[in-house]
Amino acid sequence: MSEVKKVVLAYSGGLDTSVILKWLQDTYQCEIVTFTADIGQGEELEPARAKALKFGIKPEHIYIDDLREEFVRDFVFPMFRANTIYEGEYLLGTSIARPLIAKRQIEIARAVKADAVSHGATGKGNDQVRFELGYYALEPGIKVVAPWREWDLLSREKLLAYAEKAGIPIEMKHKQGGAPYSMDANLLHISYEGRHLEDPKAEAEESMWRWTVAPEAAPDTPEYLDVEFEQGDIVALNGKRMTPAEVLTELNKLGGKHGIGRLDLVENRYVGMKSRGCYETPGGTIMLRAHRAIESITLDREVAHLKDDLMPRYASLIYNGYWWSPERKALQVLIDHTQQAVNGWVRLKLYKGNVYTIARDSKNTLFDQTIATFDDDGGAYDQADAGGFIKLNALRMRIAENARRKRG
């Protein structure tokens, strides 16, 4: 398999990608460049460098990049401008990270003149699609090596045997049958899949959750939070201006403290199967509530409804890996255009797993208290106009009913 001369591997330093690194060396006899992305998973990433060096990777071919600000600014925030949720619940924490990782991998491949890229996604999941659609969209002629679709290490026993033979350290949890869940974390969320969760009837153990306290164990006193927006993005919390990554980090802390953002979901994967996953998205849950609140007073009715109509399509594009597609980019232009007047502040109450909107205001508000009041409006709204409005809107239904009666 000498057609691959140099490959950039998305490398976490964990067991699976360490096995992949050695397998690439054994199978392709190619030069390997490792890329480890810091997107806020909260883990120490320098051990990945030491492991890569142990495999003979050149120091200049080990990339560990802090992408946290870019992740939130250029991927999470644009997605939340659309109030994006997949299948009514999922805030797309894993999905939105993949196009960034693919982008940086391709940038590195160009810099080191690699002819291939590789990832550790399995042949059953969505991530293989997300990574590879990103690769091909950004570098059409790139070669992709997907070990899980090529090798015969399709059982954990075979994987562990290969690792042991190759001298790859195996943690005790793997020797004893593995951690109870497959986890993926970034600044937006943690996802949990596999093992105990593969039975949709089984409740997830309380010990599984990492970021959030149980709602019933959250503080008995609510906490109030002021969120400030500029053009649809959060720029300050409680009057303190923050960078995008700082905003999401703080919201995660606040949401986790109050038991906000847990989700247990059976979703439809793009490859065709149903999959059960659990998610913790404390900061994202707060962001979504706050954004919808500020939009409620700053967006025209039909614009808001158009956004809601388009959102499921936009969400599916992200979930299915089409972030770099022309249709997603076109939708983003429309979405971003709607956000020009989405400025102002929202006051939230955080309490026992819930986020409540209690106040909002904007210099761009479309809420006219003079017209909306139930008290005397001084002639601002002529209620008699409503009669003709209703009759005109009922006209087609009246015609249809009269025709039905004539037919007997």
Backbone phi, psi, residue 144, to 5°: -120, 125
3-state secondary structure of 355: strand
One-letter-per-residue 3-state SS of 94-122: CHHHHHHHHHHHHHHHHHHCCCEEECCCC
- Summarize the annotated binding site for L-aspartate as residue ranges: 122, 126-127
Active-site residue, selected from the candidate residues 81, 98, 104, 262? 98
Q: Which amino acid, one-letter code, is at 225? A: L
Active-site residue, selected from the candidate residues 16, 118, 233, 362? 16
| 127 part of the active site | yes
- Summarize the annotated binding site for ATP as residue ranges: 10-18, 37, 120
| Length of the chain as a residue count | 408
Active-site residue, selected from the candidate residues 127, 233, 275, 362? 127
- Summarize the annotated binding site for L-citrulline as residue ranges: 90, 95, 126, 130, 182, 191, 267, 279
- Summarize the annotated binding site as residue ranges: 10-18, 37, 90, 95, 120, 122, 126-127, 130, 182, 191, 267, 279
3-state secondary structure of 273: coil
CA 82 to mean position of chain CA atoms: 13
Count the helices and strands in the chain (H runs, E runs).
14, 14
What sections of 29-126 are H helices per DSSP?
Answer: 46-54, 68-71, 77-81, 98-112
What is the number of alpha carbons within 13 Å of residue 175 lying toward its C-beta?
6
| 182 part of the active site | yes
> Do 128 and 321 form a contact (C-beta atoms < 8 A)?
no
Active-site residue, selected from the candidate residues 73, 74, 182, 347? 182
DSSP state for residue 238 in the 8-state scheme: T
Catalytic residues: 16, 98, 127, 182
